[in-house]
Amino acid sequence: MSQFELPALEFAPDALEPYIDKETMLIHHDKHHQTYVSNLNAALEKHPEFKDHSLTDLIAHLEKVPEDIRTAIRNNGGGHYNHCFFWKVLIPGGSKQPTGALAEAIEHQLGGYEKFKEAFTAAATGQFGSGWAWLTVTKQNVLKVTNTPNQDSPFMDGYTPLVGLDVWEHAYYLKYQNRRPEYVKNFFNVINWDFAADVYEKTLNAK
């Protein structure tokens, strides 16, 4: 049995329409994500001693990964983690706005929800080429909006992701073509803020 497997979506592939279309979801999940999983497992076959490591441990400590598979783990391990996280960030109907401790932190640290949206939109639309936009929390419990290239993870910088948006073209091109800003705008309609708030509280309690 392979160490890593493609997780099932927790909603129907057409459940996010009209914001994210069914065909994109099927290709994105069943094809793109599966490729990252397959390539990740293939890389680990070369060094079985790393099969017991968690995915977050692998991508957060790439310097410990053998050099001959390090790039494969960075790209495919990052791709697997980022996509597993992305599917949990999405929810049909969205939860509109954050609540609880996360809402308070966004208000006090980022200037409120609208200011957060502006910063997140800038990070997502400003990411040159393929990559991700993130709302993260640092080791000092400070919220930070950032972006990463390719399949790099916030864990590589010591940050814990709370919300992530895939801005690779495969995530939106069938519906939006080159209109990434429109895709980013519509993402706010399908964010699972309950999930983000839960991750935030667990992160704070773990420190």
How far apart, in whole angstroms, are the C-alpha atoms of residue 86 and residue 164? 6
What three-state secondary structure class fits 147?
A: strand
Is residue 108 annotated as involved in ligand binding? Answer: no
CA–CA separation, 164 and 87 (whole Å): 10
Nearest to 151 by CA among 39, 3, 54: 39
93: left (phi over 0), alpha (psi -120 to 50) or beta: left
Cα gap 121→127, rounded to integer Å:
10
Contact assessment for residue 118 and residue 145, using Cβ atoms and an 8 Å cutoff: no
- For residue 150, the 8-state DSSP code is T
**Residue 12: is it exposed, middle or buried by C-beta count within 10 angstroms (0-12/13-18/19+)?**
exposed
29 marked as binding residue: no
Feature table: binding site for Mn(2+): 28, 83, 166, 170
Which residues participate in the annotated binding site? 28, 83, 166, 170
